[in-house]
């Protein structure tokens, strides 16, 4: 082999070695294990901080400071978004807590968005839909309130509270015949044997007598005046 050929061959070998070194290689099993362990440790830390923030929010609510509760829960929700892997197991509950605190603080837009985020994560929850429909009815968004109430009935057609809320919303929209049918259905379910055990008979919230103007500020609901629960047992299914 001539000196020139030998130099070319050596250059090719050096180039191939450089390319191999630059190419991303597979992680060693030990590296993968360290990465997984790091992610688990980070998730554990996040959950600890999230629970601390939620505890502070609950204490603030007990003091009647719903604005502070809302602030703590917003931070908890933000941290929940940093959870690695699947969604944080606390995310739906945090959004539900945030919706209630924001509603009580008069932060209607924030409450509505929190309910929407809840439903995105748990679309089959009839009770979350009823809470959202109740808020919408109180703030005069009757068309959307009707949609949410009907979807709640798809999830749980034997809930008398859902039928009654739908009746109130329909009545407000001038749909009196449909409203009377829903009221009758609600009464029928309430008198059905065992329905009181399945669905407590607490009356749903009364829709406002007059819808607020579209230009009303977000604090239309007075601080501390959360839309009453349709069902005292409302929670995550």
C-beta neighbour count of 82 within 10 angstroms: 13
| 155-174 average pLDDT score | 96
At 38 the pLDDT is 61
Higher pLDDT, 193 or 12: 12
Question: Please, are residues 226 and 103 in contact by the beta-carbon 8 Å criterion?
Answer: yes
Structural domains of the chain in order of their starting residue, each with its CATH number: 39-122 (1.25.40), 124-209 (1.25.40.10)
Query: What does pTM read for this prediction?
Result: 0.66
**What's the CA gap between 147 and 67, in Å, rounded?**
29
**What's the CA gap between 79 and 38, in Å, rounded?**
17
At 52 the pLDDT is 95
Tell me, rounded to whole angstroms, the distance of Cα 168 from its chain centroid: 25
At 127 the pLDDT is 94
Residue 173 pLDDT more than 70? yes
DSSP conformational letter for 219: G
| 146-175 average pLDDT score | 96
| Cβ burial, residue 200 (10 Å; 0-12/13-18/19+) | middle
Q: Which of 3-7, 32-36, 47-51 has the highest mean pLDDT?
A: 47-51
Q: Give SS3 for 93.
A: helix
Supply the mean pLDDT for the chain.
Answer: 78
Q: Could you give the count of Cα atoms lying within 13 Å of 170 in the half-sphere of its Cβ?
A: 17
What pLDDT digit, counting tens, does each position of 110-125 carry? Answer: 999 999 999 999 999 9
At 7 the pLDDT is 52
At 237 the pLDDT is 35
**Closest C-alpha to 125, from 95, 105, 103:** 95
Question: How far apart, in Å, do the first and last CA atoms of the chain sit?
Answer: 79
| 34-40 average pLDDT score | 63
The pLDDT-based confidence of 130 (bands split at 50, 70, 90) is very high
């Amino acid at each position: 082999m001539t000196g020139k050929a030998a130099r070319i061959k050596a250059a090719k070998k050096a180039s191939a070695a450089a390319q191999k070194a630059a190419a991303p290689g597979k992680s060693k099993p030990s590296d993968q294990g360290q990465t997984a362990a790091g992610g688990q440790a980070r998730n554990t830390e996040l959950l600890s901080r999230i629970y601390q923030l939620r505890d502070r929010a609950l204490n603030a609510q007990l003091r009647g400071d719903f604005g502070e509760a809302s602030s703590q829960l917003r931070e908890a929700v933000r941290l929940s978004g940093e959870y690695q892997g699947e969604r944080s197991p606390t995310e739906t509950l945090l959004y539900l807590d945030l919706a209630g605190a924001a509603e009580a603080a008069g932060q209607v837009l924030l409450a509505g968005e929190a309910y929407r985020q809840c439903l995105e994560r748990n679309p089959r929850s009839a009770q979350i839909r009823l809470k959202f429909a109740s808020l919408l009815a109180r703030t005069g968004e009757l068309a959307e309130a009707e949609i949410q109430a009907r979807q709640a009935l798809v999830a749980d057609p034997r809930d008398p509270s859902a039928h009654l809320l739908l009746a109130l919303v329909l009545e407000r929209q001038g749909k009196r015949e449909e409203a009377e049918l829903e009221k009758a259905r609600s009464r029928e379910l309430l008198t059905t044997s065992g329905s009181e055990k399945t669905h407590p008979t607490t009356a749903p919230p009364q829709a406002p007598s007059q819808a607020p103007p579209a230009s009303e500020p977000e604090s239309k609901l007075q601080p501390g005046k959360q839309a009453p629960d349709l069902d005292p047992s409302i929670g995550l299914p």
